[in-house]
Structure 1
Amino acid sequence: MSIQQFIKPFIFLGLVVNILHAQEKIDYKFDFGTGKLVKGYTPILSTDVYTKEKGYGFDFDSKVEAVDGRAKNFLTPHPVKSAGPFYFSIAVPEGNYKITVRLGDPKNAASCTIKAESRRLMLENVKTAAGQSLIKTFIVNVKDKHIANGELVSLKPRELNKLDWDDKLTLEFDGQAALQALEISKVEDQVTVFLAGNSTVVNQDDEPWASWGQMIPRFFKPGVAIANHAESGLTLGSFLASKRLTKILSIMKPGDYLFIEFGHNDQKDQGPNDGAFKSYTKRLKTFISEVKKKGGIPVLLTSTSRRSFGPDGKIVNSLGDFPAAARKVADEEKVALIDLNAMTTILFNALGEEASKKAFVHYPANSYPGQDKALADNTHFNPYGAYEIAQCVILGIKEQKLGIARYLVNDLPEFDPSKPDKPANWHWPESPKSTMVKPDGN
């Protein structure tokens, strides 16, 4: 066999791979509202509803209308607005996407908060003056359950209806959002920060539940993509068994990160080899070892404190030896540690026993549709609590001098867990969907 005959199949395979990569290139440009179409943009009218056949459009019964007015610096003279939250979806494959939005109302001042997929906070309270046009860019990670070797992530029934796991990218526009244009491009040059954890980390779909993992994207500018693979009720063991670590490793690039926070549910494992310094420690080391093999950077986080006040009005540790075990593993394996347990203890003590309820899912009856009983959960956070804890994580990133700190937003808020934001001064425009069903976990 000649050398040409030998290498011919490999050349063909290389061409196929290149073609597939070329097919992965995705760019959309949407011009919203009526008026003269901007060259290179796809027009989107208020009546353009998402369908699988078309692959983009307003979603979830969104009601929008074009704003009547003109401004010299506007890309389109008639942006769209809505009296309430509205959704726009685009069918895209798994990957990281750069999203560029052009916001502003030609006649009125406006403010806009943008969430992606399962209520991930991307932009917070972006204000525009009347006639002002403002461009903002952020990164959204889109994931699916498929693993390169033909395996699948084993999803829980509740995950089957989550926006995080469907076949499209969904943006939620809240506040008085006036949307002029939207650009979406698939990008390969982002540092991906994968999150592994439980209900204190996962992107919660419904009000009033929230976790720090869905708030942290707000604090990063392009350069970093947050890929949250956490799920309620999981332990290190069940995260492994459901092939979530396998999934992460299958798409991890050298230089990507894995943030690991477990402990709340691991406490329930009662086998002879279970415990903080047994199976928990062993599994943490497995996570670290496997990430390092991929050229990734593992980061351990101790578990968030529960709202567990003692007789003296101070937080009592309800997590046993698990925070200490995580600290010990980080020291032995020479990996970065963000001590969320210590920081959230300071945070909740600073708020105090009564005011700390404002950080958790504590609501009187009838606060939400169909809620005939009070909610009093001392483990799971509401959006305010999740936001404060996300700021703890950001503080830890800075203190540990992680490389991704250079991608923190320029308007990063000053934060000290001993001086938390006042709940009354913090605003979260609620999403339309709510549930009274408590997330898995304790």
Structure 2
Amino acid sequence: MKKLRTTFFLCFFSTVLLAQTFDMTLQQPQYSDAIGYGYDVMAAPPKGSQKPFFFSVKVPDGNYHVTVTLGSSKRKAQTVVRAESRRLLLEQTTTDKGKFKTYTFVVNKRSPIIDGNTNVVLKPREKDYLDWDNRLTFEFNGPTPAVKTIDIRPDTTAVTIFLCGNSTVVDQAKEPWASWGQMIPRWFDASIAISNHAESGLSATSFINQRRLDKVVSMMRPGDYVLCEFGHNDQKEHRFGDGAYYNFAHSLKIFIDRIRAAKGIIIFVTPTQRRLFNKDSHRILETHGDYPAAMREVARRECVPIIELHEMTRTFFETLGEEDSKRALVYYAAGTFPGQMKALADNTHFNAFGAYEVAKMVVMGMKQLGLPIVSALRKDWHDFLPTAPDSWQRFTWYPTPVYDTMKPDGN
């Protein structure tokens, strides 16, 4: 008789870690901490269901090498794979009846715990996020998803790219919001993990004060990367000492010193533009004050590589134009999503298409800097120019069945 789960132990540096394989053709339980694995977020799908589903496994913090075998012996399947809060790992892949395809990823899992005495200071809304719980969660979406097996084992060799930032970077937990940080895992192979610590509404200073930088440093290993995008919310702080060239620059210097002390590689990312057009020139107006310039100045002084996302998103919006640029942001008529009573018109926060495009810009920024990690881009990567964006009409996104029409902090 087949087992629901196969487990065995791996030994690394005298540490015993558990590897697990799940046969998804067999009945699996609903998740509970006592069992340690099972269907999660929604009720277990009925036998033969072709609807999206979630599957979670209780694991410690760290990186995990994940292998999924997709397909069904009974039907053709079309499957999308995401992890945690909607991190895109695999776009729609098709398997014919009786055919299977295998894919591998490295997925990062974290909790708020830094050490035995301190935790990250989470916002109330974060406490239910899949990103901060005690398990690794996978979302299998698409028109007709089908999964044969899931294999999870600890990974101690992957290079980790840590992301620090605000609502334009965070793994947005619910539709229709999205950010580039949750799209960028799509483009890296199984030698790279993405650990996204960004949160809506944060400035560089509040990120530090909430011990999020402490958490990043506690998880880092020499040679890991840290991408920092700030400036949106920093300009809204109105306290003594605030300002682009004072407190903001000082906070950026703290990031540099802490990350370099841990033998990490820090990269600055200038903030994404807001969609605000000059009615006469039809060009994007600058709304970030001195903050992008201050980040550039700190980067120059401290020899920090910098990705010019500020200018790339300006070009992107202007290329799309005043109307079509709305297609990259959360602009939706009332009733588009469950419980949406009013129209949404947000000129800051991206939808899935916009986040997907911005993630490509960040990757291009890495390539322009000549970072060694670009050697780990997946084989289907194609270089991207914001002057030639993808077609929003041809972009396909299968919504995660979890919605929230409340705007993220920091709008």
TM range (shorter): over 0.9
Aligned equivalent of 1:309, options 246, 256, 277? 277
Which one-letter code corresponds to 2:269 in the other structure? L
Equivalent pairs counted in the alignment come to 400
What does residue 365 of structure 2 align with? Answer: 396
Unaligned runs of 5+ in 1: 1-17, 34-43, 67-80
Aligned equivalent of 1:172, options 134, 139, 157? 139
Farther off after superposition, 406-415 or 84-93:
406-415
Maintained 8 Å contact 1:258/1:297? yes
Identity within the alignment, % = 46
SS of 2:393's equivalent in the other structure is: helix
**Compared CA separation, residues 24 and 209, structure 1 to 2 (3 A):** farther
SS of 1:208's equivalent in the other structure is: coil
Aligned equivalent of 1:103, options 70, 91, 94? 70
| In the alignment, structure 1 residue 198 sits paired with structure 2 residue 166 | yes
Following the alignment from structure 1 to structure 2, what is the Cα–Cα distance between the partners of residues 26 and 19? Answer: 9
Following the alignment from structure 2 to structure 1, what is the Cα–Cα distance between the partners of residues 201 and 273? Answer: 16
Following the alignment from structure 1 to structure 2, what is the Cα–Cα distance between the partners of residues 19 and 309? Answer: 57
Maintained 8 Å contact 1:104/1:133? yes
5 Å matches for 1:221-370? 221-311=189-279, 312-370=281-339
TM-score, normalised relative to structure 2: 0.94
**Compared CA separation, residues 104 and 145, structure 1 to 2 (3 A):** same
TM-superposed CA distance for 1:234, in Å, is 0.5
TM-superposed CA distance for 1:20, in Å, is 10
Aligned equivalent of 2:127, options 160, 173, 188? 160
Maintained 8 Å contact 2:167/2:349? yes
Maintained 8 Å contact 2:113/2:119? yes
What does residue 32 of structure 1 align with? Answer: 24
**Compared CA separation, residues 269 and 61, structure 1 to 2 (3 A):** closer
Deviation readout 1:248-300 (Å, 9 max, x if unpaired):
11121110111000001001122342211111111111101111111000000
| In the alignment, structure 1 residue 118 sits paired with structure 2 residue 60 | no
TM-superposed CA distance for 1:377, in Å, is 0.6
What does residue 426 of structure 1 align with? Answer: 395
Maintained 8 Å contact 1:64/1:82? yes
Unaligned runs of 5+ in 2: 1-9
Farther off after superposition, 53-62 or 431-440:
53-62
Farther off after superposition, 81-90 or 404-413:
81-90
Following the alignment from structure 2 to structure 1, what is the Cα–Cα distance between the partners of residues 184 and 56? Answer: 22
Aligned equivalent of 2:184, options 192, 210, 216? 216
Maintained 8 Å contact 2:11/2:17? no
Maintained 8 Å contact 1:62/1:85? no
Deviation readout 1:159-207 (Å, 9 max, x if unpaired):
0000001111110000121111110001111111111100000011100
TM-superposed CA distance for 1:370, in Å, is 1.3
Following the alignment from structure 1 to structure 2, what is the Cα–Cα distance between the partners of residues 286 and 375? Answer: 37
Maintained 8 Å contact 1:199/1:440? yes
Following the alignment from structure 2 to structure 1, what is the Cα–Cα distance between the partners of residues 399 and 212? Answer: 30
Maintained 8 Å contact 1:202/1:213? yes
Maintained 8 Å contact 1:63/1:82? no
What does residue 3 of structure 2 align with? Answer: none
* Alpha-carbon RMSD: 1.7
5 Å matches for 1:81-92? 82-92=49-59
**Compared CA separation, residues 83 and 253, structure 1 to 2 (3 A):** same
Following the alignment from structure 1 to structure 2, what is the Cα–Cα distance between the partners of residues 173 and 148? Answer: 33
Maintained 8 Å contact 1:49/1:57? yes
TM-superposed CA distance for 1:385, in Å, is 0.6
Deviation readout 1:1-46 (Å, 9 max, x if unpaired):
xxxxxxxxxxxxxxxxx9997555120011122xxxxxxxxxx41x
- Whose radius of gyration is greater, 1 or 2? 1
Maintained 8 Å contact 1:359/1:384? yes
**Compared CA separation, residues 141 and 281, structure 1 to 2 (3 A):** same
Following the alignment from structure 1 to structure 2, what is the Cα–Cα distance between the partners of residues 326 and 403? Answer: 23
Following the alignment from structure 2 to structure 1, what is the Cα–Cα distance between the partners of residues 222 and 106? Answer: 19
